[in-house]
Structure 1
């Protein structure tokens, strides 16, 4: 294994912008912004758009698409040409 080619693997806080949810993990991602965590230490913070706390499928807030209605509209527009 070659030395000094691997990125630093350090603690990082990932924070969900949509919900009030954050978690501390280890990652190679870095950031200039920092946040003070529950343990009193300061860690780099990465803001993410969607996490398991705000994803519609994982939270049960997903919507069901009306596939039958979409097919009927397609047939009305284009008939049996396709």
Structure 2
């Protein structure tokens, strides 16, 4: 393998899902200005909007969009405007 290709600053980093307050620790090279203390150890903190613990695909709580009712609703509101 080529030397100097991979970064040398891998370290434990805490990722926090802001939608459900779930945290997990993994090794990363990402830079962060915030820190968090877990189990007496201070880690860099990266805040996430969504992760596998809150994504609808992984949780099974997907929202179903009713497309059939939208056409009927539109026709009830605006379909009969020319019949006056």
Scaled by the length of structure 2, the TM-score of the pair is 0.69
Q: Note the alpha carbon deviations across 1:24-72, whole angstroms, 9 max, x for none.
A: 100111201100012x1100000000011111121121022346x38xx
Structure 1: where are the runs of 5+ without partners?
74-82
Per the alignment, do residues 7 and 66 of structure 1 end up closer, same or farther by CA in structure 2, a change over 3 Å counting?
farther
Q: CA RMSD in A?
A: 2.3
CA distance in 2, matches of 1:6, 1:53: 28
Maintained 8 Å contact 2:7/2:29: no
TM-score (norm 1): 0.70
Q: Tell me which stretches of 4 or more aligned residues in structure 1 moved more than 4 Å.
A: none
Unaligned runs of 5+ in 2: 72-84
How many pairs align?
71
Partner of 1:43: 43
Structure ID, larger Rg: 2
Residues 1-82 of structure 1 mapped to structure 2, 5 A cutoff: 1-3=2-4, 6-38=7-39, 40-66=40-66, 69=68, 73=71
